[in-house]
């Protein structure tokens, strides 16, 4: 089960944030949305059953990487 987009925005607006990072929902992704009347980002890390999710943050942005377990 995943959270609804409406609940994500509601939580971001409650805490006045523009970036939410959470996991895992079995659907890793980076979602662009609007919260607090501004662009916002929700980053979902994946599960750690068959692969690992790593969030790489650099001065140029964020990237969600996946590494398969062998």
Q: Alpha helices, DSSP H only, in 1-70?
A: 5-14
Q: Using the Cα atoms of residue 13, residue 14, residue 18 and residue 19 in order, give the sign of their dihedral.
A: negative
Total-model pTM: 0.83
The number of folded domains in the chain is 1
Residue 19's nearest CA partner among 50, 46, 2, 44 is 44
Range of the domain at 64: 5-68
List of residues 6+ apart from 25 with CB closer than 8 A:
1, 2, 3, 44
**pLDDT tens digits along 19-34:** 999 987 777 899 999 9
Q: Spell out, as residue ranges, where the chain has pLDDT lower than 70.
A: 1-2
């Amino acid at each position: 089960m995943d959270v609804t987009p409406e609940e994500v925005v509601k939580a971001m607006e409650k805490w006045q944030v523009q970036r939410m990072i959470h996991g895992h929902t079995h659907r890793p992704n980076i979602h662009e949305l609007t919260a607090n009347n501004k662009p916002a980002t929700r980053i979902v890390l994946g599960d750690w059953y068959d692969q690992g999710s790593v969030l790489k943050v650099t001065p140029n942005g964020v990237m969600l990487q996946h590494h398969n377990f062998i």
